[in-house]
Amino acid sequence: VPCLVPVRVLLPAGYTPGAAYPLVIGLHGYGGNAADFLGLYGRIESPGFVFAVPEAPYSISAGGDDAFSWSTWSGADTMSYAGSIELSSLLVRNTALEMQAAFAPSSTWLLGFSQGAALAFLAGFENADIVDGAIGFGGYVEDPGPFLSAPPSSRDLRVFVAHGTSDRIVEPDEGRRAFALFDSLGCDAVMAEFEGGHGIDVATLAEAIGWIQEQVLEMYGG
């Protein structure tokens, strides 16, 4: 069932309407929200891309009113989790299509943290026809099944897996397993481990943005 969710958008300094910039869609973690995740833009030196951050559709109780999740679950309905994640993947697709229609970007990338990283990996694979790559910090693959059964064209997705070596919320091995899966499927995948816990390391974030720029040059020559 379609629903309306807010999508917050930031444009790079000196933005020129009609020019083709990369589009990065940010996917916040469990218990986060779009407004907070938008703050990542200020941690990037001279960001040269359009940053669009949708809000997850499921409100949760996490110590405040502005806490959301990309999935829901119920002991009485064992299908609710899988169904809600698929709907969130569709939400990401619709967000990408809306932003592409509005900004005609040169390329489209997903950038997620934790639960948002897991969704970035899944939605990227399921929507590789309109998404060029996915970046995940502190993420994981919940179920390898959808990746293993995806059409061969999905394996063209470029993937950047980042994980803190001291992460105790999502253990580093989860990120390593995700990378190993993408690598085994023949994706153009890289793994970046950094000293730190469950978070987004600024230096590694800069590395990921540089990786996007390199991929854009490789794909389109600029």
- The whole-number pLDDT of residue 218 equals 87
pLDDT beneath 70: ranges in the chain: 1-3, 62-65, 74-79, 221-222
Per-residue model confidence (pLDDT) at position 74: 54
Is residue 38 packed enough to be buried (19+ CB in 10 Å), middle (13-18) or exposed (0-12)?
middle
Give the count of beta carbons closer than 10 Å to the beta carbon of residue 62.
Answer: 14
At residue 65, the pLDDT reads 67
Identify the pLDDT of residue 84: 87
Give the pLDDT of residue 196. 97
Sequence-distant (6+) residues with CB within 8 A of 34 are: 6, 7, 8, 26, 28, 53, 54, 55
Asked if 31 and 68 count as a contact pair (C-beta separation under 8 A), the reply is yes
pTM: 0.94
pLDDT given for residue 212 in this prediction:
96
Question: Is 52 in contact with 6 (CB distance < 8 Å)?
Answer: no
Predicted pLDDT of residue 222: 47
- What is the pLDDT at residue 192? 98
Residue 2 has a pLDDT of: 62
Count other Cβ atoms within 10 Å, centred on residue 22: 24
